[in-house]
């Protein structure tokens, strides 16, 4: 569970937790918490795009959260490609950490397990409405939004522009008023002025690898926006 203000653990703690234990870490590291939040936010943004009528306010708030995390991770120098050994991991593993995170957080507070409705890992946020017209109608342009969740996760995992292009290759943008398409889609802005808090204890300056990877994600998000 996120504390009121995310407190930075020392670099050593972070390493211990990230070092990977088979079991659940007693107190999830800040890095793990932040990564889980990023994953959760990206899932939410993706699901926004699949809805009939995306809620613009919600999309903007989630996108701003993603941007904040991105900026902080860029400052930390922790923005890096998924390590090779982890590439084969199923996307679900990354989301499991969210559930563990929130569960262990509640235990920390000593309130006991309560019925806060945490969705199971990987489960979409619920949206009550369903269109009676169906989205698989004759409108070819909507087809791009019907990809399965797995496909979208895979695409984000890979973070290569080519695969994201594939995802939306059959979207015929001529059917769209640009406004309608971009409603709910907010691209990653270039990193702006850094956030004041969370000055890293010891941070390597962002490496060139780091910058190019940030660029790749931005590129991916831009493609989502420009579709």
Partner 1 sequence: TGGSGGPDIISTVEFNHTGELLATGDKGGRVVIFQREPESKNAPHSQGEYDVYSTFQSHEPEFDYLKSLEIEEKINKIKWLPQQNAAHSLLSTNDKTIKLWKITERDKRPEGYNLKDEEGKLKDLSTVTSLQVPVLKPMDLMVEVSPRRVFANGHTYHINSISVNSDCETYMSADDLRINLWHLAITDRSFNIVDIKPANMEDLTEVITASEFHPHHCNLFVYSSSKGSLRLCDMRAAALCDKHSKLFEEPEDPSNRSFFSEIISSVSDVKFSHSGRYMLTRDYLTVKVWDLNMEARPIETYQVHDYLRSKLCSLYENDCIFDKFECAWNGSDSVIMTGAYNNFFRMFDRNTKRDVTLEASRESSKPRAVLKPRRVCVGGKRRRDDISVDSLDFTKKILHTAWHPAENIIAIAATNNLYIFQDKVNSEMH
The contact set with partner 1 (CB under 8 A) reads 1-6, 33-34, 37, 40, 44, 52-53, 55-58, 60-61, 63-65, 68-69, 98, 101-102, 105-106, 109-119, 125-126, 129, 131-133, 135, 137, 139, 141-142, 175-180, 182-183, 185-187, 189, 196-197, 222, 225
Nearer to partner 1, 88 or 133 (CB): 133
CB 57, min distance to partner 1, A: 5
CB 111, min distance to partner 1, A: 5
Nearer to partner 1, 1 or 81 (CB): 1
Q: Which is it for the CA torsion 89, 151, 223, 163, positive or negative?
A: positive
Nearer to partner 1, 112 or 205 (CB): 112
Query: Which structure tokens are listed for 30?
Result: 């800040």
Nearer to partner 1, 128 or 205 (CB): 128
Q: What span, in angstroms and rounded, lies between the C-alpha atoms of 67 and 62?
A: 9
Rg of the chain's alpha carbons, rounded to an integer?
19
Nearer to partner 1, 58 or 159 (CB): 58
CB 90, min distance to partner 1, A: 20
DSSP secondary structure letter of residue 141:
G
Q: Give the residue among 69, 75, 67 at the shortest CA–CA distance from 6.
A: 69
CB 171, min distance to partner 1, A: 12
- In the chain, alpha helices (H): 11-18, 30-50, 56-76, 91-109, 149-158, 161-167, 178-182, 208-226
CB 174, min distance to partner 1, A: 12
CB 82, min distance to partner 1, A: 21
Q: What span, in angstroms and rounded, lies between the C-alpha atoms of 1 and 97?
A: 11
Nearer to partner 1, 26 or 87 (CB): 26
User: Strand, coil or helix: what is 105?
Assistant: helix
DSSP per residue, 8-69: PPPHHHHHHHHT--SS--SS--HHHHHHHHHHHHHHHHHHHHHSSS--HHHHHHHHHHHHHH
Nearer to partner 1, 14 or 100 (CB): 100
DSSP per residue, 61-72: HHHHHHHHHHHH
CB 19, min distance to partner 1, A: 23
């Amino acid at each position: 569970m996120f504390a009121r203000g995310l407190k930075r653990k020392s670099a050593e703690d972070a390493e211990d937790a990230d070092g990977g234990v088979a079991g659940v870490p007693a107190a999830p590291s800040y890095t793990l918490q932040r990564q889980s939040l990023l994953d959760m936010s990206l899932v939410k943004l993706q699901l926004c795009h699949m809805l009939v009528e995306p809620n613009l306010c919600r999309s903007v708030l989630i996108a701003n959260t993603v941007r904040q995390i991105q900026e902080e991770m860029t400052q930390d120098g922790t923005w890096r490609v998924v390590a090779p050994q982890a590439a084969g991991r199923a996307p679900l593993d990354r989301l499991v950490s969210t559930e563990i995170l929130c569960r262990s957080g509640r235990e920390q507070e000593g309130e006991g397990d309560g019925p806060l409705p945490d969705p199971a890992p990987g489960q979409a946020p619920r949206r009550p409405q369903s269109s009676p017209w169906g989205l698989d109608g004759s409108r070819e342009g909507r087809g791009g939004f019907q990809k399965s969740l797995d496909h979208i996760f895979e695409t984000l995992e890979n973070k290569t522009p080519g695969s994201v292009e594939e995802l939306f290759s059959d979207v015929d943008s001529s059917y769209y008023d640009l406004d309608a398409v971009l409603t709910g889609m907010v691209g990653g802005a270039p990193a702006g002025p850094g956030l004041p808090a969370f000055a890293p204890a010891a941070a390597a300056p962002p490496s060139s690898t780091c910058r190019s990877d940030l660029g790749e994600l931005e590129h991916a998000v831009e493609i989502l926006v420009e579709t």
